[in-house]
Amino acid sequence: MRSVPCFPFALTLLLGLSSLKTTVSAAQSPRHDPLSEAQVEKIREAGIDPNERIKLYTEFLADHVNTVKSLTNRGKSDARARRLDSELHDVSALMDELGSNLDEYSDRHADMRGALKNLADESQRWLITLRALAGEPPFDLSRKDAIEAGQDLADEAQRLLREQNDYFSIHKDEKGQERAEPKPQ
């Protein structure tokens, strides 16, 4: 009877387990949140008030875009490129999250015109900043993603603002409401 050496099998098993452990560790590592704990708490406190939430997200996005702008004029370095990449990812994530919030609020007929006007104006400024940033290989993809997310958000804010203006020009009695209330019959 011939014995089969166990060494190759054991080595393969150990390498597989090591790879699995690395994959599980990466999956369990905490995900980066573009908002600080204090900012998350402010969002929670705003609850379901669409105007307040839009104002907060606009403020937090402005902070991130201002950080991107401040990094634009610094000398090129690996640290700058990593920071820009991270900030641009945060900008995209926040824009996507705000866009999701806008989708939710659009059917409520809450009067969000003030916050939407500010968001529409700010989003145009953000796009100017993002487009002015010269692409570099370490962050070019995140820059393009941020520009795309910014354009989507700007378009959505403009569209919602037009819809809101049209709606409240017809439903003047609902001006200033936080959500559509059923009408007594």
Q: How far apart are CA 133 and CA 69, in angstroms?
A: 8
Q: What is the pLDDT of residues 38-86, one digit of tens each?
A: 999 999 999 888 999 999 999 999 999 999 999 998 889 999 999 999 9
**Beta strand extents in the chain (DSSP E only):** none
Q: What is the pLDDT of residues 95-136, one digit of tens each?
A: 999 999 998 887 777 889 999 999 999 999 999 999 999 989
> Residues 137-147: what's their mean pLDDT?
96
Residue by residue, DSSP assigns 9-58 as HHHHHHHHHHHHHHHHHHHHSPPP-SS-HHHHHHHHHHTT-HHHHHHHHH
Mean pLDDT value across the chain: 83
Q: How far apart are CA 143 and CA 124, in angstroms?
A: 16
pLDDT band at 27 (very low <50, low <70, confident <90, very high): very low
- Residues 6 or more apart whose Cβ sits within 8 Å of residue 111: 51, 164, 168, 174, 175, 176, 177, 178
Angle made by CA atoms 71, 95, 103, in degrees to the nearest 5: 170
pLDDT on residue 176: 65
Residue 47 vs residue 92, higher pLDDT? 92
Q: How far apart are CA 116 and CA 111, in angstroms?
A: 9
pLDDT on residue 18: 41
Counting every residue written for the chain, the total comes to 185
Domains of the chain: 49-173 (1.20.120)
Query: Contact, 170 vs 119, CB < 8 A?
Result: no
Phi, psi of 71 (to 5 degrees): -80, -20
